[in-house]
A and B are shown apart, each in its own frame.
Chain A
Protein backbone atom coordinates (compact mmCIF):
# COMPACT_ATOMS: atom_id res chain seq x y z
CA UNK A 1 0.00 0.00 0.00
CA UNK A 2 1.48 3.36 -1.06
CA UNK A 3 0.35 6.74 0.30
CA UNK A 4 -0.01 9.30 -2.50
CA UNK A 5 -1.20 12.17 -0.43
CA UNK A 6 0.37 13.17 2.84
CA UNK A 7 -2.25 11.78 5.24
CA UNK A 8 -4.33 14.62 6.59
CA UNK A 9 -5.19 14.48 10.25
CA UNK A 10 -6.99 17.16 12.20
CA UNK A 11 -9.29 17.09 15.18
CA UNK A 12 -12.27 16.78 12.82
CA UNK A 13 -11.10 15.02 9.68
CA UNK A 14 -8.66 12.37 8.67
CA UNK A 15 -8.06 11.69 4.98
CA UNK A 16 -5.79 9.36 3.05
CA UNK A 17 -5.19 8.45 -0.57
CA UNK A 18 -3.46 5.14 -1.16
CA UNK A 19 -2.81 2.69 -3.94
CA UNK A 20 -4.09 -0.76 -3.12
CA UNK A 21 -3.57 -3.47 -5.74
CA UNK A 22 -3.31 -0.88 -8.53
CA UNK A 23 -6.50 0.85 -7.42
CA UNK A 24 -6.68 4.35 -5.97
CA UNK A 25 -8.42 4.40 -2.61
CA UNK A 26 -9.57 7.59 -0.90
CA UNK A 27 -10.65 7.27 2.69
CA UNK A 28 -12.21 10.05 4.75
CA UNK A 29 -13.30 9.81 8.36
CA UNK A 30 -14.65 12.39 10.80
CA UNK A 31 -16.33 15.61 9.69
CA UNK A 32 -15.72 17.54 6.46
CA UNK A 33 -16.82 21.08 7.12
CA UNK A 34 -15.81 24.69 6.48
CA UNK A 35 -12.42 24.22 8.15
CA UNK A 36 -11.20 21.55 5.74
CA UNK A 37 -12.71 22.64 2.41
CA UNK A 38 -9.29 23.46 0.93
CA UNK A 39 -7.84 20.15 2.09
CA UNK A 40 -10.66 18.16 0.49
CA UNK A 41 -10.31 20.12 -2.73
CA UNK A 42 -6.54 19.51 -2.86
CA UNK A 43 -7.00 15.86 -2.05
CA UNK A 44 -9.47 15.34 -4.89
CA UNK A 45 -7.28 17.31 -7.29
CA UNK A 46 -4.38 14.99 -6.43
CA UNK A 47 -6.60 11.96 -6.93
CA UNK A 48 -7.74 13.17 -10.34
CA UNK A 49 -4.20 13.93 -11.49
CA UNK A 50 -2.97 10.54 -10.33
CA UNK A 51 -5.94 8.66 -11.77
CA UNK A 52 -5.51 10.25 -15.19
CA UNK A 53 -1.72 9.82 -15.15
CA UNK A 54 -2.01 6.14 -14.24
CA UNK A 55 -5.04 5.50 -16.48
CA UNK A 56 -6.87 3.79 -13.65
CA UNK A 57 -10.25 2.30 -14.40
CA UNK A 58 -11.77 3.09 -11.04
CA UNK A 59 -11.23 5.13 -7.89
CA UNK A 60 -12.69 3.86 -4.64
CA UNK A 61 -13.92 6.44 -2.14
CA UNK A 62 -14.57 5.14 1.35
CA UNK A 63 -16.87 7.47 3.28
CA UNK A 64 -18.08 4.91 5.79
CA UNK A 65 -16.46 6.76 8.65
CA UNK A 66 -17.48 10.23 7.54
CA UNK A 67 -19.97 11.59 10.03
CA UNK A 68 -20.88 14.68 8.01
CA UNK A 69 -19.92 16.60 4.89
CA UNK A 70 -20.97 20.19 4.30
CA UNK A 71 -21.99 21.61 0.94
CA UNK A 72 -18.58 23.20 0.28
CA UNK A 73 -16.80 19.84 0.56
CA UNK A 74 -19.65 18.15 -1.30
CA UNK A 75 -19.11 20.67 -4.08
CA UNK A 76 -15.44 19.60 -4.28
CA UNK A 77 -16.72 16.14 -5.19
CA UNK A 78 -19.02 17.70 -7.80
CA UNK A 79 -16.08 19.58 -9.32
CA UNK A 80 -13.95 16.44 -9.36
CA UNK A 81 -16.68 14.41 -11.06
CA UNK A 82 -17.26 17.15 -13.62
CA UNK A 83 -13.52 17.01 -14.42
CA UNK A 84 -13.84 13.29 -15.07
CA UNK A 85 -16.88 13.95 -17.28
CA UNK A 86 -14.83 16.40 -19.34
CA UNK A 87 -12.21 13.80 -20.17
CA UNK A 88 -12.44 11.94 -23.44
CA UNK A 89 -14.71 8.97 -22.93
CA UNK A 90 -11.81 6.53 -23.25
CA UNK A 91 -9.92 8.35 -20.48
CA UNK A 92 -12.79 8.53 -18.01
CA UNK A 93 -12.65 6.39 -14.91
CA UNK A 94 -15.40 5.17 -12.66
CA UNK A 95 -15.84 6.20 -9.04
CA UNK A 96 -17.13 3.78 -6.45
CA UNK A 97 -18.38 5.20 -3.17
CA UNK A 98 -18.55 3.05 -0.08
CA UNK A 99 -21.21 4.46 2.20
CA UNK A 100 -22.48 3.68 5.65
CA UNK A 101 -26.24 3.06 5.73
CA UNK A 102 -26.33 4.12 9.38
CA UNK A 103 -25.11 7.62 8.46
CA UNK A 104 -28.26 8.85 6.82
CA UNK A 105 -27.10 11.99 4.98
CA UNK A 106 -24.81 9.80 2.85
CA UNK A 107 -27.68 8.10 1.03
CA UNK A 108 -29.23 11.39 -0.08
CA UNK A 109 -25.99 13.16 -0.95
CA UNK A 110 -24.49 10.24 -2.83
CA UNK A 111 -27.76 9.73 -4.65
CA UNK A 112 -27.53 13.35 -5.82
CA UNK A 113 -23.98 12.72 -7.09
CA UNK A 114 -25.17 9.58 -8.80
CA UNK A 115 -27.92 11.53 -10.60
CA UNK A 116 -25.31 14.07 -11.66
CA UNK A 117 -23.08 11.42 -13.25
CA UNK A 118 -24.93 8.11 -13.34
CA UNK A 119 -22.55 6.59 -15.89
CA UNK A 120 -19.50 7.18 -13.67
CA UNK A 121 -20.70 6.49 -10.15
CA UNK A 122 -21.45 3.33 -8.24
CA UNK A 123 -22.53 3.30 -4.61
CA UNK A 124 -21.87 0.37 -2.34
CA UNK A 125 -23.73 0.66 0.93
CA UNK A 126 -23.61 -2.99 1.84
CA UNK A 127 -20.07 -3.69 3.00
CA UNK A 128 -18.77 -2.50 6.34
Chain B
Protein backbone atom coordinates (compact mmCIF):
# COMPACT_ATOMS: atom_id res chain seq x y z
CA UNK B 1 0.00 0.00 0.00
CA UNK B 2 0.98 3.61 -0.44
CA UNK B 3 0.77 6.18 2.35
CA UNK B 4 1.90 9.77 2.66
CA UNK B 5 4.42 9.91 5.51
CA UNK B 6 5.66 13.38 6.44
CA UNK B 7 4.62 14.62 2.99
CA UNK B 8 6.54 11.88 1.16
CA UNK B 9 4.93 8.95 -0.57
CA UNK B 10 5.93 5.63 1.01
CA UNK B 11 5.31 2.16 -0.40
CA UNK B 12 4.80 -0.39 2.39
CA UNK B 13 4.68 -4.15 1.81
CA UNK B 14 1.36 -4.71 3.60
CA UNK B 15 -2.34 -3.97 3.15
CA UNK B 16 -2.49 -2.32 6.54
CA UNK B 17 -0.09 -1.80 9.43
CA UNK B 18 -0.35 -0.67 13.05
CA UNK B 19 1.29 2.55 14.14
CA UNK B 20 3.64 0.53 16.39
CA UNK B 21 4.64 -1.68 13.43
CA UNK B 22 5.22 1.37 11.23
CA UNK B 23 7.55 2.88 13.87
CA UNK B 24 9.64 -0.32 13.92
CA UNK B 25 9.62 -0.69 10.14
CA UNK B 26 10.76 2.89 9.60
CA UNK B 27 13.24 2.69 12.56
CA UNK B 28 11.60 5.67 14.27
CA UNK B 29 13.07 4.87 17.68
CA UNK B 30 13.08 8.28 19.41
CA UNK B 31 10.35 8.06 22.05
CA UNK B 32 9.14 11.64 22.35
CA UNK B 33 7.03 12.16 19.30
CA UNK B 34 3.61 13.15 18.07
CA UNK B 35 1.73 11.15 15.47
CA UNK B 36 -1.26 12.39 13.51
CA UNK B 37 -3.14 10.28 11.00
CA UNK B 38 -5.45 12.14 8.63
CA UNK B 39 -5.33 15.11 11.00
CA UNK B 40 -6.24 13.11 14.11
CA UNK B 41 -3.82 12.99 17.05
CA UNK B 42 -3.07 9.39 17.98
CA UNK B 43 -2.70 8.81 21.69
CA UNK B 44 0.51 6.99 22.69
CA UNK B 45 -1.40 4.13 24.29
CA UNK B 46 -3.21 3.46 21.01
CA UNK B 47 -0.14 2.88 18.81
CA UNK B 48 -0.63 -0.91 18.96
CA UNK B 49 -4.30 -0.80 18.09
CA UNK B 50 -4.44 2.03 15.56
CA UNK B 51 -4.19 0.89 11.95
CA UNK B 52 -2.75 2.76 9.00
CA UNK B 53 -4.45 2.04 5.69
CA UNK B 54 -3.78 2.73 2.00
CA UNK B 55 -3.88 6.45 1.24
CA UNK B 56 -3.58 7.59 4.85
CA UNK B 57 -1.76 10.82 5.55
CA UNK B 58 0.64 10.25 8.44
CA UNK B 59 2.66 12.91 10.21
CA UNK B 60 5.34 12.10 12.75
CA UNK B 61 7.02 14.89 14.68
CA UNK B 62 9.99 14.40 17.01
CA UNK B 63 9.95 16.60 20.09
CA UNK B 64 13.48 17.73 20.94
CA UNK B 65 14.30 19.35 24.27
CA UNK B 66 15.56 22.91 24.18
CA UNK B 67 13.79 26.19 24.33
To the question of whether A and B form a pair in one complex, the answer is no
Residue positions of B touching A, CB distance < 8 A: none
